[in-house]
Amino acid sequence: DAPTSAPPVIQTAQRSQVQITLLLISSRRKVMTFDAEMTIGRVKELVWNSWPSEWQDEYPASPSHLRMLYLGRMLQDEDMLSDLKFPESVTSAFLPTIVHISIRPNGSP
């Protein structure tokens, strides 16, 4: 008798997510969730594209006018969220990660 083998288990890869609480200097907050393999540059684009209507008085001219700071460090556009050691989750349980946002004035280089 040949041993019967169990059917193969198919693993579906769940993508790790990072939940960020964006905190403006004006103390306004917004919580957003991003794929952990996303770059800060892409995060800035998504934040800019989903800028809350109640924040219009602080609306930046473009995503490049957003500065993101985490633990006192200015985040660079090429930084990957996963490389920054933010808490990740593949479930709905998240630890809050606060990232400060400042908006560069239009005349600044």
The residue count for the chain: 109
Q: What is the pLDDT of residues 18-68, one digit of tens each?
A: 889 999 989 999 999 999 999 999 999 999 999 999 999 999 999 999 999
Intra-chain end-to-end CA distance of the chain, in Å: 77
Rounded Cα distance between 69 and 71, Å, is 7
Rounded Cα distance between 85 and 32, Å, is 17
Residue 26 vs residue 89, higher pLDDT: 26
Tell me, what's the pLDDT at 1? 56
SS (HEC) of 46-84: HHHHCCCHHHHHHCCCCHHHEEEEECCEECCCCCEHHHH
Tell me, what's the pLDDT at 32? 93
pLDDT beyond 80 at 84: yes
Tell me, what's the pLDDT at 69? 95
Q: Give the chain's mean pLDDT.
A: 84
Lowest average pLDDT, out of 7-11, 14-18, 85-89, goes to 7-11
pLDDT beyond 70 at 14: no
